[in-house]
Amino acid sequence: VDQLVRDVRLAGYDPTASASPGLTLVAADRIELTADLDGDGTIDASSEEHVAYRVAASSRSLQRVVGAQSLPIVSDVAAGGLVLGYFDRAGTRLDPAAAGTAAATRVVTIDLTATPRGRPAVHVSAGARLVNR
């Protein structure tokens, strides 16, 4: 979850003011972020300048996707166990399915529940402000 928070905070980093929209996909259970980390004015989709998070249905793992590489970072995610919330500058909750949510988002909340086999469920919550907006 710390890595997801870090990536949300970096979303929209764009020193040349030409390359990075910040959030390119918002949904209740997945997110895609961009940041012009090398300051060259473009987003390299095969690098950490374009990162996505999703839960793979087949493995029930939370994955951090960088380019074509999927990195599992949490296993045994419960069904519906990743819930992302999006909030505007005033703290109003936004509908991820609504047009304009990605552009209006200033804070993302993360609720993650894992159900390790034979063990009690584990729940982690966090939030991050997009510092580049």
* pLDDT tens digits, 72-126: 999 999 999 999 999 999 999 999 999 999 999 999 999 999 998 888 999 999 9
By the 8 A CB rule, do 107 and 57 touch? Answer: no
CB atoms within 10 A of CB 123: 12
CB atoms within 10 A of CB 39: 11
Q: What is the pTM of this model?
A: 0.93
Two tokens, residue 62: 């939370």
User: Using CA atoms, how far apart are residues 58 and 52, in angstroms rounded to an integer?
Assistant: 17
User: Using CA atoms, how far apart are residues 35 and 91, in angstroms rounded to an integer?
Assistant: 23
